[in-house]
Amino acid sequence: MISDFAARRQTLWVQLIAFLLVLLSAGYAQAADPLPSWNDGAAKSAIIDYVTKVATPGSTAFVPVEERIAVFDNDGTLWPENPMPFQMAYAVDQAKQMAAKDPKLAENPMIKALIADDWDTLMAAPHHQGILDIVALTHAGMTVDEFRQQVEDWMKTARHPRFKVGYDQLTYQPMQEVLAYFRANGFRTYIVSGGGADFMRVWSQRVYGIPPAQVVGSTTKVVYELRDSGPVLVKTMDNLVVDDKAGKPAGIHEFIGERPIAVFGNSDGDKEMLEYGTIANPLPSLGVIIHHTDGVREYQYDVNPKSSGTLVEALKEAPSRGWTVVSMKDDWKTIFAPK
């Protein structure tokens, strides 16, 4: 009897300790702030409340893990788009470098204007010919492996003109926390951006923890060739599909094949994607707009952006759609990831 009692007492102790451990770990999980770079406020609460309710088993808003898909615009949402989108900065640097090595390239008046930093001429060319010529020179005619190497080399050496660090050092720390927080709660995180898929896939894993297959971007046709050295894919300018505005829901359908339930954007280019994720979605959804309100720490723009990033229509729609608008000035403690 006594040994029986002792055994039972021991069992009770084990159960009590296990129970305390569960309480402690639950308490710790509650206490740890998943978004430490966000100031307390409506935006932060909206994000945390949403993730908590869809990821908590038994919650009426619970969403099975297979259906937890979150999509993020890149330029202006995960990193800046000023003084120009970073991919355009790449194209400009690369075109200048190519023209320095091969003077004949300057026979193209657009490349000549670029070398002279004559942006008035470049932007005045009809049908965006200035930009297209620069993009064609730097984004087509090479294999995808050669392009990848060129982007990697540039990313190692190029410096942002204002912040004087590598472009990939300029991701928004609050959004890095959002990406990690969503993934920790079973979400698949996708980039859905007007930027080139081939450009973003070079560094998406390293910079955001997002693998190439989860990057949806603008594409052009690649052509397969079996060379003596092995198979290659050559980049062309044919069949350009721009992953912007109404192209974003189409791109999401084509690449992911399912509707997202959480959508993060910052411009009118993200409006249709925000609608697609949040209007009449049978699953609980979240729409978030990053509003560039901080001219001191970053850039302030919406109606008249310096480069891309016009935000008028989506901002107007936000209240009626229930989209959360994040003020970078007020909602973010820090802008960039610490060096």
Among 170, 175, 210, smallest CA distance to 189 is for: 210
- Binding range to a copy of itself, per CB under 8 A, among 33-41, 76-84, 132-140, 225-233: 225-233
Q: Which is nearer to a copy of itself, 115 or 246 (CB)?
A: 246
Q: Which is nearer to a copy of itself, 80 or 247 (CB)?
A: 247
Q: Is the dihedral of CA 142, 145, 151, 154 positive or negative?
A: negative
2 binds a copy of itself (CB under 8 A): no
Which amino acid type is present at position 112? K
DSSP characters for 68-94? -EEEE--BTTTB---SS-HHHHHHHHH
Phi–psi pair at 209, nearest 5 degrees: 70, 25
140 binds a copy of itself (CB under 8 A): no
Q: Which is nearer to a copy of itself, 126 or 230 (CB)?
A: 230
> Residue 338 carries which DSSP code?
P
What are the structure tokens assigned to 106, written together? 């300057």
Residue 71 CB: number of other CB atoms within 10 A? 31
Q: Which is nearer to a copy of itself, 204 or 293 (CB)?
A: 204
CB of 290 to a copy of itself, least distance (A): 21
7 binds a copy of itself (CB under 8 A): no
**Site for a copy of itself (CB under 8 A): which residue of 219, 267, 285, 293?**
219
Cβ–Cβ under 8 Å, residues 260 and 190: yes
Q: Which of residues 170-189 bind a copy of itself (CB under 8 A)?
A: 188
Binding mask 198-217 for a copy of itself (x = CB under 8 A): x--x---------xxx-x--
Q: What is the largest CA-CA distance in the chain?
A: 101
- Enumerate binding residues for a copy of itself (CB under 8 A): 66, 144, 188, 197-198, 201, 211-213, 215, 219, 221-224, 226, 229-231, 233, 239, 241, 246-247, 249-250, 253-258, 272, 275-276, 279-281
